[in-house]
């Protein structure tokens, strides 16, 4: 990697960016939102072969290859319908290498090449001719104890990593981490409360999951969710996360919400009930956040499983989701009317719809003390997406109504790379402000350190309530 990768091309601005980047590059990593399996760190077993580490679980990679006619089954993605799946890691790797040209200009290429070079020390470029050479080099590293998950965690300079679990999880991996001194409140690996599978009536199996939760009435449903939140807090959780189709919120009268819940439980849900229930539950969860101090995260705007054939064959989270336009101003008003000015409440808003950064999200963050802007995620966490974000939101929300960077990844080995990309992009943005005499260099240096480390540490920190120990 060139030392000036992603820094501005103009020499004078680049020199400033180099200086600013120096203030951020070695700061510890805070990863407050992601999808790494906690069992990876709890068990601390060697990673599998290079393909199962880098290709199979990465839907950014498999999605691009699928768009060019390479079925996920040929890349080792597990099937639900009995479709034969490739099991030979070297064969999967060769397919990736032979099609590496498809990733030119994409963040997937940037991340993967930097992982190979910086995490595994592989200098050879990836292509069809070098596929076996690169595969063997990575496989050799994976057999070394210095490349086990906890050792890499240390090398990555990770201060804290948040995983994401359903309320129905027994949190067994987190219990093991806590027993080893890695988990629990203030631990190095913590959990996040993600209740989507219990509030989305459209998600197949909803009634069975509610039964598993132990709720027969709406009042019991809320009580069980509160209890599970306490279990998550005991496992270190500082936030909840909510991935809804829209940002709709709705404060229903309690008897109306209970009637809706009862209809759904009897398989008699009416048209519109699913959206109304999700919208109401966001308000209920916000009220719970005031009670227990969990920071609320909202990730709306994904049309899940748009590729129906892909979903039927391989299930969720394999690259079949598509972003959708998302409205926030009117949708969030019921929740913000109730809690937007409450000092006990904090919500971090994300989007897959860039058109709302300037028009809706930045003004909301600039208008409510409870609202912070989450980093670009999923389809937007590219260098270009990160730059556009800063350009779109800073003039209205400033820097300190944003929440820092989140890597939002299942790819554990890419975490330091993704954070470094964000730090380089921020160095370039701030350098331009300095070069235009809009911000003194010392203030820009302070700002980049805040964006990289201090802001996410502060924003995602659970609020301790009276009577609790810090």
What is the C-alpha separation between 137 and 219, in angstroms, rounded?
56
Place of tokens 């003039």: 395
Q: Spell out the residues 6+ positions from residue 221 whose beta carbon is closer than 8 angstroms to its own.
A: 210, 213, 215, 261
Place of tokens 């009897």: 266
**DSSP notation for 65-130:** HHHTT--GGGGT---SS-------HHHHHHHHHHTGGGGTTSHHHHHHHHIIIIIS---SPPSTTT
Crossing angle of helices 59-67 and 107-114, rounded to 10°: 130
What is the C-alpha separation between 139 and 47, in angstroms, rounded?
9
Q: Which two tokens stand for residue 237?
A: 């959780």
pLDDT the model gives residue 466: 58
pLDDT the model gives residue 144: 98
What is the C-alpha separation between 220 and 218, in angstroms, rounded?
5
SS3 state of residue 240: strand
- The DSSP letter of residue 375 is P
What is the C-alpha separation between 193 and 165, in angstroms, rounded?
6
Strand order, beta sheet including 347-349? 239-242, 295-298, 347-349, 371-373
Residue of 390, 314, 273, 253 whose CA lies nearest to 74: 314
226-230: long-range pairs with CB below 8 Å, 24+: 226/288, 226/291, 226/292, 228/167, 228/193, 229/167, 229/193, 229/288, 229/292, 229/294, 230/292
Sign of CA dihedral 38, 317, 31, 241: negative
pLDDT the model gives residue 469: 59
What is the C-alpha separation between 416 and 406, in angstroms, rounded?
11
What is the C-alpha separation between 258 and 243, in angstroms, rounded?
22
Per-residue pLDDT of the chain (470 residues; tens, 9 = 90+): 899 999 999 999 999 999 999 999 999 999 999 999 999 999 999 999 999 999 999 999 999 999 999 999 999 999 998 889 999 999 999 999 999 999 999 999 999 999 999 999 999 999 999 999 999 999 999 999 999 999 999 999 999 999 999 999 999 999 999 999 999 999 999 999 999 999 999 999 999 999 999 999 999 999 999 999 999 999 999 999 999 999 999 999 999 999 999 999 999 999 999 999 999 999 999 999 999 999 999 999 999 999 999 999 999 888 899 999 999 999 999 999 999 999 999 999 999 999 999 999 999 999 999 999 999 999 999 999 999 999 999 999 999 999 999 999 999 999 999 999 999 999 999 999 999 999 999 999 999 999 999 999 999 998 766 567 55
> Are the CB atoms for 109 and 103 separated by under 8 Å?
yes
What is the C-alpha separation between 332 and 363, in angstroms, rounded?
13
Place of tokens 């994300």: 350
pLDDT the model gives residue 276: 98
Residue of 292, 381, 297, 282 whose CA lies nearest to 333: 282
SS3 state of residue 296: strand
The DSSP H or E segment spanning 166 is none
What is the C-alpha separation between 8 and 389, in angstroms, rounded?
16
pLDDT the model gives residue 33: 95
**pTM as predicted:** 0.96
Number of residues that make up the chain = 470
């Amino acid at each position: 990697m060139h030392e000036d990768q992603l820094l501005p091309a103009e020499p004078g601005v680049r020199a400033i960016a180099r200086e600013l980047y120096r203030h951020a590059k070695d700061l510890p990593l805070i990863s407050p939102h992601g999808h790494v399996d906690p069992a990876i760190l709890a068990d601390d077993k060697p990673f599998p072969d290079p393909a199962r580490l880098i290709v199979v679980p990465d839907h950014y990679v498999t999605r691009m290859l699928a768009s060019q006619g390479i079925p996920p089954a040929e890349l080792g993605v597990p099937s639900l319908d009995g479709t034969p799946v490739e099991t030979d890691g070297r064969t999967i790797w060769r397919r990736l290498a032979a099609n590496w040209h498809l990733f030119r200009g994409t963040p997937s290429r940037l991340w993967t090449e930097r992982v190979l070079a910086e995490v595994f020390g592989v200098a050879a470029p990836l292509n069809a001719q070098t596929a076996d050479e690169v595969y063997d080099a990575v496989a050799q590293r994976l057999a070394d104890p210095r490349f086990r998950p906890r050792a890499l965690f240390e090398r990555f300079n990770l201060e804290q990593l948040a995983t994401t679990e359903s309320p129905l999880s027994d949190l067994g991996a987190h219990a093991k981490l806590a027993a080893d001194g890695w988990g629990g409140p203030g631990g190095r690996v913590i959990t996040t409360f993600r209740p989507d599978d219990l509030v989305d009536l459209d998600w197949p199996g909803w009634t069975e999951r509610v039964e598993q939760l132990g709720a027969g009435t709406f009042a019991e449903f809320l009580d069980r969710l509160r209890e599970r939140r306490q279990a998550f807090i005991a496992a270190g959780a500082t936030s909840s996360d909510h991935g809804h189709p829209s940002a709709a919120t709705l404060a229903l009268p309690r008897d109306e919400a209970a009637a809706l819940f009862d209809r759904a439980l009897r398989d008699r849900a009416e048209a519109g009930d699913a959206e109304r229930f999700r919208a109401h539950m966001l308000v209920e969860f916000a009220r719970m956040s005031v009670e227990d101090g969990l920071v609320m995260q909202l990730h709306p705007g994904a049309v899940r499983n748009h590729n129906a054939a892909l979903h039927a064959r391989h299930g969720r989270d394999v690259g079949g989701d598509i972003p959708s336009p998302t409205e926030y101003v009117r949708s969030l008003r019921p929740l913000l009317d109730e809690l937007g000015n409450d000092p006990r409440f904090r919500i971090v808003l994300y989007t897959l719809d860039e058109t709302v950064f300037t028009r809706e999200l930045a003004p909301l963050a600039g208008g409510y003390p409870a609202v912070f802007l989450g980093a670009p995620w999923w389809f937007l966490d590219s260098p270009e997406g990160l730059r556009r974000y800063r350009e779109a939101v800073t003039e209205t929300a400033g820097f300190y109504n944003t929440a820092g960077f989140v890597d939002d990844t299942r790819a554990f080995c890419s975490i330091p790379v993704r954070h470094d990309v964000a730090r380089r992009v921020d160095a370039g943005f701030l350098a331009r402000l300095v070069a235009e005499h809009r911000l003194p260099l010392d203030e820009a240096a302070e700002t980049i350190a805040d964006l990289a480390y201090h802001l996410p540490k502060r924003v995602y920190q659970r609020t301790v309530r009276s009577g609790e120990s810090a």
